[in-house]
Amino acid sequence: MSDRPKRTHLDQLVGAEGAGARRAARMEVLAALLWIPAAALLAMAIDGLVFATSGADDLPFYLAGFLAIALLRGLLVMQATRLADRSSLRVQGRLRDALASALARQSPFDTGRVATGQAAATLTDHVAALGPWLTRYQPSRLKVMLVPAIIALAVLPVSWAASIALLLAGPLIPIFMALIGQRVRIASERQLSELGTMNAYLLDRLQGLTTIRLLGAGGQALARLEQAAQALRIGTMRVLRLAFLSSAVLELFAAVGVALVAVYVGFSLLGYLQFGAYDAPLTLAEGLFILLLAPDFFLPMREFAASYHDRATAEAAGKAIAGILESDRPALLGEGAAAVPLNGPARIRLTGARFGYDGTRPVLAGLDLDIPSGEKLALVGPSGSGKSTILALIAGLLRADAGSVEVAGQALTDETADGWRARLAWVGQRPYFLHGSLRRNLTLGHPDRALGEIADALQLASAESVVARLPRGDATLLGEAGQGISGGEGQRLAVARAALRGADIILADEPTAHLDAETAQAVADGLFRLAEGRTLILATHDEALAARCDRIVRLHP
């Protein structure tokens, strides 16, 4: 029970944007209660029609009153639906923004960060699961708390027996719902988590499809996927079974309740039952009034039961959303968002910088490094000595455990990191290209770059031939993760992309690794042309490349 989110947890997630949905819920309650005067007017109208007891003169008044109330109810429900939908969309939009920001704050160096498929499931399905909770569950909860009690009260002055029959049948439903509610919640949570797991697994295996094929591990991957799909199917069927079971039992209780009242009213009108009303036996108008209200006494409970699993689903989804929003996993410095470039000279100083990934074994144990503006510095050292880690610390993608990182004359903090990164360009071992045109990939984050600027950047990186070779030049669509260009071509394009970024500090992490000598030379030439008049920090194993820098810092594991 302790891991059960409090109701306030979902309310907190929904926040101020949920106010519209709450107002809509109150409007729906009002619309439901308007059925009481409408039923009274209709009963008197029918009574008047059948027996002419109320006088023919009043008939148009009753009918007009009934129609006016029915119209008002319709308008109220319509307005409430619109309000609730709008509020729900606003809540979902804000949560997706907040999730996207939280995901952007995750450090790319955190191996335990949310899996891509899981994040995608949370951004889409989990957030969407809050919609029915807001627009269906919330109004039905308010209605179930107020409407049956008020209807029973309205029936009381007409017949205490009918009122008691309703009050006796009513509570059976909430008791039953409470009994199965816990099981529904557990089943929903399990089903949502299975959905996330399957998404994450599928995405991961799709990304590694070539590797899986080459290793002949397709059958194994397929079997695991089948397992995950089976688990999801069983989970979904479990939720559906419980949902059907609860609604079937509920319908039974509601039908028995209405039948009980109908039998009482019927026998009273026929004169077989002489109790339950106050002075005289029930009149036709009174009997009809009770009969018209009886189904509406149970209606809120049926609606509540139908939307009950919305709450369970929303709670499970809320947990997944809160898990990302309130994650205490290592985050990068700042927001990971676009920002105005930080002012100041491009000097970088690390003083006594300590860092360890797992908090115990330090990768950097008190590193001092002073890189003046415009210097070309090579970080050389064996694999695992911490070269990439230093670049990540300088880019604010990791936080130093101790010591300080100073950039542009200021401490690198959450406040300065985004502005600092706006001045950086990163050329990694395997540059990432998105699914989209090559031009879009080159001008990522700077869509306003002119054609001339793109041409200059391609020339600087010796990448014109790469573009010329493509069937539609820079309008060619690249596949997911940059399919369609080779590793060496991608590396040259990455240098061109860095040039288009207009950055004055270039961080390069093994930019020539895995390339043949000729391509490595072309990439290195491009990189050094780009670094002219800029600061370059280059992590490499390649001594020849390092020798082209102004200074070499050697690291030891």
Which residues bind to ligand ATP, rule: CB under 6 A? 109, 111, 357, 363, 381, 383-389, 510, 539
Looking at the Cβ atoms of 391 and 457, the one nearer to ligand ATP is 391
Q: Name the residue among 441, 501, 428 with its Cα closest to residue 467.
A: 441
239, burial (CB in 10 Å: exposed 0-12, middle 13-18, buried 19+): buried
Q: How far is the CB of 457 from ligand ATP (least distance, A)?
A: 27
For residues 7 and 329, which CB has a smaller minimum distance to ligand ATP in the complex? Answer: 329
Judge contact between 276 and 159, C-beta under 8 A: yes
If the CB atoms of residues 8 and 360 are measured against ligand ATP, the closer one turns out to be 360
Between CA 316 and CA 122 the distance in angstroms is 11
Distance CA 231, CA 456 (A): 54
Neighbours of 337 (CB within 10 A): 12
Cα–Cα distance for residue pair 503/325, rounded to 1 Å: 31
DSSP 397: S
Q: Least distance in Å: CB of 96 to ligand ATP?
A: 27
**Smallest distance from ligand ATP to CB 107, Å:** 8
Which H or E run includes 65? helix 59-105
Q: Choose between 110 and 464: whose C-beta lies nearer to ligand ATP.
A: 110
Closer residue to ligand ATP in complex, CB, 163/388:
388
Cβ nearer to ligand ATP, comparing 113 with 376? 113
**Sequence letter at residue 356:** G
Angle value at C-alpha 527, between 525 and 531, nearest 5 degrees: 115
Residue 73: how many CA atoms within 13 Å on its side-chain side? Answer: 16
Task: Output 147 or 539, the one with its CB closest to ligand ATP.
Answer: 539
Q: How far is the CB of 428 from ligand ATP (least distance, A)?
A: 10
Q: Shortest Cβ distance from residue 196 to ligand ATP (Å)?
A: 22
420 and 408 Cβ atoms separated by less than 8 Å? yes
Q: Based on the number of CB atoms within 10 Å of its own CB, is 360 exposed (0-12), middle (13-18) or buried (19 or more)?
A: exposed
The whole-angstrom separation of Cα 391 and Cα 398 is 9
Q: Which is nearer to ligand ATP, 251 or 368 (CB)?
A: 368
Residues 6+ apart with CB under 8 A from 297: 147, 148, 151, 152, 166, 170, 257
Q: Is 467 or 539 the residue whose CB approaches ligand ATP more closely?
A: 539
Q: How far is the CB of 365 from ligand ATP (least distance, A)?
A: 12
- Indicate the residue among 242 and 538 with the shorter CB distance to ligand ATP: 538
DSSP assignment of 462-503: T-HHHHHHSTTGGGPEE-GGGTTS-HHHHHHHHHHHHHHHT-
Least Å from the CB of residue 330 to ligand ATP: 9
CB of 12 to ligand ATP, least distance (A): 32
**Residue 49 corresponds to which tokens in the numbers above?**
């029609």
CB of 389 to ligand ATP, least distance (A): 3
Please choose, from the candidates 429, 419, 253, the residue with its C-alpha nearest in 3D space to the C-alpha of residue 335.
419
Query: Minimal distance in Å, beta carbon 402 to ligand ATP?
Result: 17
Tokens (6 digits) for 15: 């926040």
CB 363 to ligand ATP: min, Å: 4
Amino acid occupying residue 531: A
Contact yes or no for 381/557 (Cβ under 8 A)? yes
Which is nearer to ligand ATP, 92 or 540 (by Cβ)? 540
Q: How far is the CB of 400 from ligand ATP (least distance, A)?
A: 14
Q: Which helix (H) or strand (E) holds 399?
A: none
**Residue 361, both tokens:** 């074994």
Angle, CA 435 vertex, CA 433 and CA 441 arms, to 5°: 45
∠ Cα 85 86 90 (to 5°): 115
**184 — alpha (psi -120 to 50), left (phi > 0) or beta?**
alpha
Q: How far is the CB of 203 from ligand ATP (least distance, A)?
A: 20
Residue closer to ligand ATP by CB (options 258, 424) is 424
**Given the complex with ligand ATP, which of 316 and 523 has the nearer CB atom?**
523
